[in-house]
Amino acid sequence: MKNRFYFTTAAFPNMITLLNLVTGFFSILMSVQEKYEYAVWLVLLALVLDSLDGHVARIFGNETEFGRELDSLADAVSFVVAPCMFVSKVFFLNSSITLLVVMIFYLCSGIFRLARYNVNPTRGGCFEGLPTPAAALTLMMTMLAFNKNLWLERSSSLISVVFLMTALGFLMVSDIPYPKVSAIKFRTWRTLFIVQVVVFGGVFFLLNVESAIASIFLTFLTLSPFYCASFHKASGEDASNEKGGA
């Protein structure tokens, strides 16, 4: 008889993963009902849950292949389908073939990114390509900031979102390194952290908290690959020094 691991402590991280799935589903419902702020904050909550389930699994020492597959399926709903639904509802009246093609590209890129991660997981504290949670929140927070500042009424807003979704899709399927947040060392990332604090404070003072959070994600998306590359370089030099010392 097979081991029913879902009746063991492995059930705890799996339950958190399912909460991630449910949160993503409710985000979709909020988008359908045009309650956009709730939709974005629910995806942010899904990000917290997505980070938590892995930590819980490691605490109990019961990381499983089933849990990894379940996590990818939940992420597909919360960080790929939910953002696409959000965009389609916000621009429903201004939808075009171009926007539809870009949304399909983003959707396929996100699913591809999740499937590739299952085959090639994180190595050396960095992801291969932009993680889907970061892409989803960058997109949705930026659009929420547009809505808060009444920029969605401008004709250029649709062009900006099309450009952003296309860029995020390419970043997800690329091999550009992005850091795993839990593996970040403050000593290495101190400068970027200070830059983000300054950007957040300045944008919050000039505009609002939604715009400030969107600026944080955009800054991280732009600058963190350079820090990830420097981290790998420093790790390589440390390894070389250790070999030389030996």
- Name the E strands within the chain: 126-128, 177-179
Are 43 and 137 in contact, with CB atoms under 8 Å apart?
yes
Distance CA 185, CA 182 (A): 9
Q: What is the per-residue pLDDT for 233?
A: 58
The residue-averaged pLDDT of 94-104 equals 84
Name the most confidently modeled range: 66-70, 72-76, 87-91, 231-235. 72-76
Distance CA 35, CA 20 (A): 19
Confidence of residue 195 (pLDDT cuts 50, 70, 90): confident
**Three-state SS at 177:** strand
pTM for the model stands at: 0.84
CA dihedral 20, 108, 103, 80 (to 10 degrees): 10
Closest by CA to 42, choosing from 29, 54, 26, is 26
Q: Which helix (H) or strand (E) holds 45?
A: helix 36-60
Q: What is the per-residue pLDDT for 95?
A: 66
**Three-state SS at 74:** helix
Distance CA 207, CA 218 (A): 16
Domains of the chain by residue range: 5-245
Mean pLDDT of the chain: 82
Task: Supply φ then ψ for residue 30, to 5 degrees.
Answer: -65, -35
Of the two residues 28 and 93, the one the predictor is more confident about is: 28
Distance CA 235, CA 246 (A): 17
Closest by CA to 138, choosing from 96, 112, 110, is 110
Query: According to CATH, what is the number of the domain 5-245?
Result: 1.20.120.1760
